[in-house]
Structure 1
Amino acid sequence: MRVLVKGAGVAGLTAAFELARRGAAVTVADVRHGRGGNASWFAGGMLAPWCERESAEQPVLDLGRGAADWWEAVLPGQVTQAGTLVVAPPRDSGELDRFAGRTSGHRWLDEAEIARLEPDLAERFRRGLFFPGEAHLDPRRAMAALHDKLVAMGVDISFATDARQLPGFEHEIDCTGMAADDGRLRGVRGEMMILHTPDIALSRPVRLLHPRFPLYTVPRANHRFMIGATMIESDGAGPVTVRSMMELLGTACALHPAFGEAGIVETGVGVRPAFSDNLPRVEARGNTVAINGLYRHGFLLAPAMARQAAELVFADEPMELA
């Protein structure tokens, strides 16, 4: 069975893997000239289904529970399973109670327990929530490793390629995100920054709650931290705005003042495709299966969506999954 996967973001590459492992001859085509520049490139890489349940519907938790195990099984050593820490300044302690009331899979920490978990946050927060079942990865490293694994499996991956010039496939998987011809999608703009400082050490993602501008910080290699992200109802992919940069940096300094001396390594914008209910879709239309609407949950939900898509391709009678 020959299958064409359109799009080499996280949805496309995970779909290609699930198809190839089932025996399909897979070609991946992407109009971009390389892996950079898509929404996956600017993702946080948090595999945090319990935290995401605070603002997402139950299917996000159900579909995302197995994401960390999938990534670790496919790319051993890429996943850090250290949980997620959620904190709030004393003046915003009500936000912490609200977050706890909307989530599960956590336990409360006092000030001393926060310090044992993250010594650099000692005496900064009186209480917090710890989600031990969550994990994170570096999206760019993971995408590169998955690309190489697919090539080793015999998958043909072509960048700067128009998929319309590649006929003769029995099935197609459309993973083109906002570029898909789907009038139901809207763009949600997410702005992020990568900071460098040797003065802070964190072992896991830390979410700082704020009633207007919550922030997450994800540790990366070489004393770098990804901080983000805004959620703006817009499909504009222009540079990070001054307002967003000020708010991101201000909130980062509220987490730890040493971020005020950090170097700004990179800023970026990713436009996440979303349906009206912010839930993903895997839909079959003839010999085409579309994966779309992963919203802010790309690395978390892509494995489950890829499995659904592969099952549709190999099923005797195509059906629609939501």
Structure 2
Amino acid sequence: MKVLIRGAGVAGLTLAHELATRGATVTVVEKREEIAGNASWQAGGMLAPWCERESAEEVVLTLGLGAADWWDAALPGHVSRNGTLVLAPARDVGELDRFGRRTSGFKQLDTSGIAALEPALGGRFGRGLYFAQEAHLDPRKALLALRDKLLDMGARLEFGGCAASAPADVEVDCTGMADRRAELRGVRGEMLILRTDEISLARPVRLLHPRIPAYVVPRGENLFMVGATMIECDAAGPITARSTMELLGAAYALHPAFGEAELVETGVGVRPAFADNLTRVERDGQHLSINGLYRHGFLLSPAMAQQAADMILTKSRSKGVCS
């Protein structure tokens, strides 16, 4: 089976890996000149199905439970299984109760419990929720490692164009917002990368706020990703001043050391979403698509890749929807 995949974001590369592992001949075509620059490149990389359940349907939890294992098997050493810590400033502590009511899989922590997990945050927060079974990865390192592994497996990756050099039996569209179908909408996410050696975190920390919840994800080498806004807009462009201030304010509220951090990078990614915010795998003859990953790209792409690979190699289904 020869499969052509359009798009080298997380959806396209995870599908390519799934198919190559099962023996298919895979070609990935990407219009950009390199892996960097798409919405996947700007992602947080959190494999957090229980935290996402707070604002998502049950199916996101169900399909996301295997994500950390998939990534660990595909890219050994890239997944950090240190869980997720959810906190709130004293004035917003009621947000912790609301968050907890809408999900599961967590342990309640007091001040000493928070300090035991993250010494740098000791004494700063009175309560927290700890999701011990969650994980995270560096999405940029993961995408580059997937690219290199696919090349080693014999897959073709063609950048800077839209036409493949080899014929295919099946074609799959994984181009996200470039697939301009009417029912897709863009959800803009803005993020910062900060550098400071004055604080160390072992896991992603979500800071709750009734209007602007944010998260801080450690990236190693004293780098921290701070994200991300959720703006109903399909315009890319640079980050806004307002979003920059809000994200910096959230980082500072987590720990004042971030006030002296170096602002290394700002970024914007436009994530494709359907009206129900659920991902879809669809087939029409010899053409398939994976789209609508919304804010769950690294969490749901393994399950979507497995669904699509089943459709391609067994031809047993015409449609699979994350619902």
Residue 124 of structure 1 pairs with residue 118 of structure 2? no
Residue 109 of structure 1 pairs with residue 109 of structure 2? yes
Q: What is aligned with 2:82?
A: 82
Q: What is aligned with 2:319?
A: 320
Distance in 2 of aligned mates of 1:299 and 1:186: 19
Aligned structure 1 segments of 4 or more residues deviating by more than 2 angstroms: 165-168
Distance in 2 of aligned mates of 1:309 and 1:181: 20
Q: What is aligned with 2:99?
A: 99
Deviation at 1:289, TM superposition (A): 1.0
Q: Report matched runs for 1:1-322 at 5 Å.
A: 1-163=1-163, 165-166=164-165, 168-322=167-321
For 1:156, the aligned partner's letter is: R
Distance in 2 of aligned mates of 1:168 and 1:252: 49
Aligned length: 321
Distance in 2 of aligned mates of 1:160 and 1:221: 31
Distance in 2 of aligned mates of 1:320 and 1:251: 41
For 1:115, the aligned partner's letter is: A
Distance in 1 of aligned mates of 2:210 and 2:30: 39
| Structure 2 portions without partners, runs of 5+ | none
Deviation at 1:166, TM superposition (A): 4.1
Deviation at 1:274, TM superposition (A): 0.1
Say whether the 8 Å CA contact 2:280–2:320 is kept in structure 1: yes
Secondary structure of 2:231's match?
coil
| Structure 1 portions without partners, runs of 5+ | none
Distance in 2 of aligned mates of 1:284 and 1:177: 16
CA RMSD of aligned residues (A): 0.8
Distance in 2 of aligned mates of 1:171 and 1:4: 6
For 2:65, the aligned partner's letter is: R
For 1:72, the aligned partner's letter is: D
For 2:104, the aligned partner's letter is: S
For 1:46, the aligned partner's letter is: M
Secondary structure of 2:217's match?
strand
Deviation at 1:169, TM superposition (A): 1.0
Distance in 1 of aligned mates of 2:115 and 2:131: 16
Deviation at 1:181, TM superposition (A): 3.5
For 1:249, the aligned partner's letter is: L
Deviation at 1:143, TM superposition (A): 0.6
TM-score in terms of structure 2 length:
0.98
Distance in 2 of aligned mates of 1:317 and 1:44: 34
Identity of aligned residues (%): 64
TM-score in terms of structure 1 length:
0.98
For 1:91, the aligned partner's letter is: R
Deviations 1:290-320 (A, max 9, x none): 0000000000000000000000001234421
